[in-house]
Chains A and B, each alone.
Chain A
Amino acid sequence: MNRLLLFLIEHATPACDREYVVGDVVERFEQVRTSDGPAAARAWLRSEAARVLGQAIAHRAAVRTRSTTIREDKDGALFSFLEDVRHACRALGRAPGFAVIAIATLGLGIGVNTAMFAVVNGVLLKPLPLADADRLMIVHLLARDSASAPPSEDVWSFPKFQAFLAAQQVYDDAGLFIGIPASLGGDEAAPEPIHTEVVTSSYHRTLGAHPILGRAFTPEETDRAGARPLVMLSHALWARRFGSDAGVLGRSIPIDDVPHTIVGVLAPGFRGLSGEADAWVPLASRWPESLTVLGWHSYYLVARRRAGVPEEAARASVGILGAQIQAAETGSLPGSTPGALARSLDASRADVDVRRASLMLLGAVGFVLLIACVNLTNLVATRVLARRRDVALRLAIGATRFRIVRQFAADGLVLGLGGAVTGVMLSVFLLRASAWLLPEASVFFRTSIAPGVARMSGTEGLTRIGASMVGLDLATLLFAAGATMLAALVIAVVPAWRTSSWQPADALRAGMRSASARGFGALGARSVLVTVQVALALVLLSGAGLMIRSAMRLHATDIGVRPDHVVTLGISLSTRLYAGQKSVAFFDQLIDRVRALPGVESASVANCLPVSGGCSNTEMWELPKRSGASDGMPVGVFWAGPDYFPMLGIRLTAGRGFSRDDVAGRPKVVLISEAAARRLSPNSSPLGKIVSVGQGRFQDGAEIVGIVSDVRYRAIEEAPRPAVYLPVAQSPRAAMRLFVRAQGDAASLAPAITREVRAIDPSLALPAFKTLEAQIDDATWRTRVAAWLLSALAALAALLTAIGIFGVMAQVVLQRTGEIGIRVALGAERRDVLSLVLGRAALITVAGLITGTVAALALTRLISTFLYQTAPYDPLTFASVAGVLGAVALLACYIPARRATRVDPVIALKGS
């Protein structure tokens, strides 16, 4: 007979029926063995054991309802722990107020932690969805504007890429790519704006992204001039535009008015390294000229490291090779050029700031969980006091200490599980809400891949951040489970540790009296806990205060334009159909038509949105070039129509603006910004000077006719850089931006403007309209969201702390009711009683505020990169948050203090 099975049956059965049940099983086993043989008997025993185990809880429940006496526990450990859990559930059911507060507190703590971890996991930790992602590296060339300037990142040209491929020995494969917007025509539908990546054939191979339908590009198709235009589709575009039709291969679709033949469809989920690609087109057919021009720097380089080559070795090799390639171009010595930089794709996927912000917020939510646990410990400790008599009784009639501790562990587990369920539900809600906080379309990682290296201006990073990257997955749920276990442990340990030293007799005596300051550490431990809470809350509040101040300063910063009532729309004309002056004519016609619309105050064109990271940069020289003059002055270069400046409220501070006479054929003119004027001629007026501008065919010189006020084109946080404006009529561009100022609501003009654009050219794909105010919102996104989230967390922390203080002070008053009664009976004034209670509260609070301030001063340095015109030790912020927290603490004490002043000495003395 299987002893193990019999043991299981024995211990699954309640003690009172154990002998009979086991006897019956043995008897039947023998009968089956006699009649059907030992094998059948063993099989029967197995099924019997399963049945007994299955019914164990019901059997116990039936037995328990009979027994009203407290039994000494002889049952199996697991089953009696289950009983403890049931007991804990029933006890919570009898105290619904406590249960709700405890589970809600814990749920909040676990919920915000789970949600934040999901974000960190999605943005920083989750493996990139690419084959062998750990071996992928991004390689940037480094360039230096002048000998003294720090090196800045630069992208690759195709000839330099080929030189790199021919000489390198550390990579298996490497490919070029660049994301560009395009317009997808065809069918009868209006042209659709899509994102394409222009790539070499090796790009998909390097990333391990293979087509699920059709084939990939071949080197002949992407790297040789004269290749016919081909396209590979993303799975999403294939499903949306072509209904997942396998017959699309070989079909021709117009992209930017050029027919492209579909050769393949990629696997679902793959959107390229730009993170948003709908289609891929070969480099050779898109920009054949770039195949041979050494200085055509347009492409990012991604490479797969050879297995076995350490990252460090690859980086060193790339540095040397890059220097050789750059030196070959300029003819200088390899040692004098900055070379190239390689970094793992995984490490460069998240912007340093995004990484830091995520970790900062993860730290903040950790604080909230800590505060929640402290509160729970206090709450549970209060309950332990209330259950003291119950515990004493059990100890007195012989319950072991282990048994008592186990009961507290069960309490902690039940509360922890309740909190976990609430928390996970809350985190699902929070993640849904995050879709609103994380705009999907307009925020890119801007990655600087090495410290001290300037970021490329206007380059989009590797992946976009957005709500779609974030979700509950196994790792996140495991994290939630871990947080729960930790919380349950904290909840269970303190009361278990406390009660384990109780002597039954003392406990009974104290329990009978029900109110005594002695015997339970005289609340010392709980006061310390509340002090810690106040300190934690102060740290969070100071962080939030600093961020709010930064956000306010950002909001108050003058970016140089009047953004209200302005809507803008990017229009990319085909360079084939609108060469040269044709584009000027198009935009002139469009401006005239839009201006005639009802509700439009004015309209103009320019190429660049303010606070968008900047657009084009070049150099400007004063002509004639002085001999021995150093390099030109780096400037941002912008194209604008005549009405652009008055319309956006950019002031003309000297000279004249662009006029309708500044057209092709007339003398070339430029406007410069005040910052440029200061740099160009600090002591005299620059008006009338002739300058050479490195772009827009303005190298041969143009006259400065006016000076305009500064605009922050790059970022709100960044001081305006010198800028030069070219009249679009003298330097035509196919890609411009229409700016329209409305008399009323700007966004409502969108349909009418679309109609006017379509009336001139129905084949144009129109990207979305954007109000200038929305653009500024996007630009302040990071600071605003961080301020928002930190404020919400800090408010939560303050609330939890207030609850904690309230709980402890209420307990203090309850336990000292007798003492207060005696004092009142001996003639103490209401004032004295109040100061007795409030004095205690003030002590706790002040201790917490001091500890918190010291901790905050150490920790706010970590967020100094997020602050704008605000010092990490900003005294005003620190004073205000300490004041706020102090007020909240006092408020939390008010009710218990009032109760203390109303103690009736007669009742109080009777009670004790």
Chain B
Amino acid sequence: MVTPTLGEFEQLVLLAVLRLEDDAYGATVRREIETRTKRSLGISAVYTTLERLEQKGLVRSWTGDPTPERGGRRRKYFALQPLGAHALKSAHDAYTGMVVGLEHHLKKLR
């Protein structure tokens, strides 16, 4: 099985889905990334990426029940697929592999 390589934002979205477990839907994924990376995102960007990840088989989605705080609209939940977990792991390995021995330098960088 070929492991798909991930873009930076795809990694962030996958990490958020992983972290949120059962509660991963558009708004929570966005909030998770915004608070942790101090970036401001548009909701469409999150959905665009989740759409792409789903097409690649890295996540799966299902629809929840309508809730009153959303004006009776449903949520679309996402969860990591095994291929997604694998891709995330190899991306992380690649990153940490490159970082080994550079921690000191990286700290000094502004």
Contacts and interface: CB of A to CB of B under 8 A. Distances in A.
A20 B44 contact: no
B47 A20 contact: yes
Given A23-B70, A30-B69, A66-B51, A56 B75 contact: no
Nearest to B73: A23
Contacts of B54: 66
Interface in B6-27: 25-27
Given A17-B76, A62-B51, A51 B71 contact: no
Contacts of A838: none
B52 A62 contact: yes
B27 A58 contact: no
B81 to A, nearest CB: 16
Contact of B69 (A27, A55, A62, A66): A27
Contacts of A51: 41-45
B108 to A, nearest CB: 34
A601 interface: no
A27 B69 CA distance: 6
B55 interface: yes
A63 B54 CA distance: 11
A25 B25 CA distance: 12
A466 B48 CA distance: 57
B52 A23 contact: no
Nearest to A51: B42
A814 B76 CA distance: 54
B73 A55 contact: no
A108 to B, nearest CB: 42
In this complex, the interface size class of chain A, counting residues with CB under 8 Å from chain B, is 20 to 34
A21 B26 contact: yes
B48 A28 contact: no
B39 to A, nearest CB: 12
Contacts of B51: 17, 59, 62-63, 66
Contact of A52 (B40, B43, B55, B75): B43
A194 interface: no
Contacts of A24: 25-27, 30, 43, 70, 75
Interface string A9-51: 0001100010111111111101000000000000000011001
B40 to A, nearest CB: 8
B50 to A, nearest CB: 9
Contact of A21 (B40, B41, B44, B55): B44
B48 A23 contact: no
A150 interface: no
Contacts of A66: 51, 54-55
B85 to A, nearest CB: 22
Contact of B74 (A12, A23, A56): A23
A25 B43 CA distance: 8
Contacts of B74: 19-20, 23
A48 B42 contact: yes
A56 B44 CA distance: 7
A816 B88 CA distance: 62
A48 B41 CA distance: 8
A27 B30 CA distance: 12
A2 interface: no
B70 A21 contact: no
B55 A65 contact: yes
In this complex, the member of A20, A55, A58 whose beta carbon has the largest number of chain B beta carbons within 10 angstroms is A20
Given A23-B75, A24-B25, A65-B55, A54 B69 contact: no
A62 B48 contact: yes
Contacts of A65: 55
Nearest to B70: A23
A353 to B, nearest CB: 63
A89 B42 CA distance: 28
Contacts of A20: 25-26, 47, 73-76
Contacts of A22: 71, 73
A19 B73 CA distance: 6
Contacts of A30: 69
Interface in B31-72: 31, 40-45, 47-49, 51-52, 54-55, 67, 69-71
Contacts of B40: 47
A498 B90 CA distance: 57
A56 B43 CA distance: 11
A59 B47 contact: yes
Nearest to B66: A23
B71 A23 contact: yes
B20 to A, nearest CB: 13
Contacts of B27: 23-24, 27-28
A23 B28 CA distance: 12
Contacts of B67: 23
B62 to A, nearest CB: 11
A19 B43 CA distance: 13
Contacts of A19: 73-74
B102 to A, nearest CB: 34
B42 to A, nearest CB: 3
Contacts of B30: 24, 28
Contacts of A12: 44
A48 B43 contact: yes
A27 B64 CA distance: 15
A23 B65 CA distance: 12
B44 A55 contact: yes
Contacts of B26: 20-21, 24
Nearest to A58: B48
Nearest to A18: B73
Contact of B42 (A17, A23, A26, A55): A55
Nearest to B76: A20
Interface in A551-581: none
Contacts of B76: 17, 20
A26 B71 contact: yes
29 contacts: A17-B76, A19-B74, A20-B47, A20-B73, A21-B43, A21-B47, A23-B27, A24-B70, A24-B75, A26-B69, A28-B27, A28-B30, A48-B42, A51-B42, A51-B44, A51-B45, A52-B42, A54-B42, A55-B44, A55-B45, A58-B45, A58-B48, A59-B47, A59-B48, A62-B49, A62-B52, A62-B55, A65-B55, A66-B54
Q: What 10 pairs across the A-B complex have the smallest Cβ distances?
A: A51-B42, A23-B73, A23-B70, A24-B27, A55-B44, A20-B76, A24-B26, A62-B51, A62-B48, A59-B48
Given A27-B27, A47-B40, 9 more contacts: A17-B76, A20-B73, A20-B74, A24-B30, A26-B73, A28-B30, A52-B43, A56-B44, A66-B54
Interface of A: 12-13, 17, 19-28, 30, 47-48, 51-52, 54-56, 58-59, 62-63, 65-66
